[in-house]
Structure 1
């Protein structure tokens, strides 16, 4: 059976630099009827486990370590036995949320994760966070962008550990190089495509989004 992509929205709080915001997060599950990978275990480990519906969870992949993307990861790992994977450049952010529990493994640029006959290629895309990654699934014509690229522009860079010129370079060099028909599945909000977003790069730069 070919891999499919399941989508769950969970709600909670994003906290950084002394501020708190209510947020809805996209949780993506890639797999078949027997095994799966979760991308961003946000807010509600029980809801994510229920969505797995008995499938073996092979990994919990973190696109970055802002608390709203990782707050449920340890509980989901404890419930399923799956390892938590994070790019090491985001360890300082991770430790703000989980000081007593480290990730189980590292993500590296170019690394390939296999699940249910589908390959997810890790693209290191710093800017929103130092260790931010996107996961490109060419067989699914899909890229999971976390908070690096949204419908309408780059992720926010106004808080600590983030940098606008860096995120623009990541999007230009790593994401806009993907085929234009590639579906962009984001960390928050609606999906888009590379082809829809690519023409607007200069606008984003001009407004210093």
Structure 2
């Protein structure tokens, strides 16, 4: 049975540095009819749990720890009995949302997650946040980039714990080296491709 990729969009707010913004977030569910992993858990726990449809959830993989990507994570984890994975460099952001509890486990660059006969590989891509991580599903020619790479270029770096030169280096060295036809599935908005974003980044100096 081939692995499937499902997209759920949830809506809520993103808050950091004293500001709050309305946002729509992508939730990605990768698996088959029996098991899956959830990539990010924003805003609406009930909607995410419903999308799981009773399957065994092997892991909740967080691309980073801004509140609009983790706000429903604890509730979802408790409902489906899955461990939450986060890169430890983002604990400073996690603690702003969940000061009294830590993620269940840490993921690091190169970690492999098996689901439905396919393998996701963690790619640490700091810049949007210190622990930002993408998940590469080579068999399906796709990469889940969180807020590191969007349709049209890099994610935002204008707030605390972010850095523009770092995100550019991460994208150029860790993502644009993937095959050109790789589909980029983002944390917000539309899909793109590595080929398209190579063209975008070629126009950006530094």
Shorter-chain TM band: over 0.9
> Map of 1:155-166 to 2, 5 A cutoff?
155-166=155-166
1:117 is aligned to 117
Does residue 42 in structure 1 map to residue 42 in structure 2? Answer: yes
Structure 1 residue 2: Cα displacement:
1.2
**d(CA) in 1 for partners of 2:8, 2:15:** 21
Partner Cα distance (1:154, 1:92) in 2 = 22
Tell me the equivalent position of 1:195: 195
Contact preservation (8 Å) 1:168, 1:205: no
Q: 1:203: how far off?
A: 2.2
Structure 1 segments of 4 or more deviating over 3 A? none
- Is there any run of 5+ residues in structure 1 with no aligned partner, and where? none
TM-score by length of 2: 0.99
What residue number does 2:87 align with? 87
Say how many residue pairs are matched. Answer: 206
Does structure 2 retain, via aligned residues, the 8 Å contact 1:127–1:168? Answer: yes
Q: Deviations over 1:99-118 (max 9, x none)?
A: 11210000110111110111
- Cα displacement (A) at 1:88: 0.3
Q: CA deviation at 1:205?
A: 3.2
Query: Which stretches in structure 2 are left out of the alignment for 5+ residues?
Result: none
Equivalent in the alignment of 2:174: 174
Q: CA deviation at 1:199?
A: 1.7
- The match for 2:139 is 139
Aligned with 2:102: secondary structure? coil
Secondary structure at the counterpart of residue 121 of structure 1: strand
- The two structures have a TM-score, normalised by structure 1, of 0.97
SS at match of 1:201: helix
Is it true that 1:151 corresponds to 2:151 in the alignment?
Answer: yes
Offset at 1:202? Answer: 3.4
Supply the distance in 1 between the matched residues of 2:112 and 2:57 (Cα, whole angstroms): 17
Q: CA RMSD in A?
A: 0.7
Which residue number in structure 2 is paired with residue 20 of structure 1?
A: 20
Q: Distance in 2 between matches of 1:96 and 1:205?
A: 34
CA contact (8 A) 1:9 1:26 kept: yes
Which residue does 1:70 correspond to in 2? 70
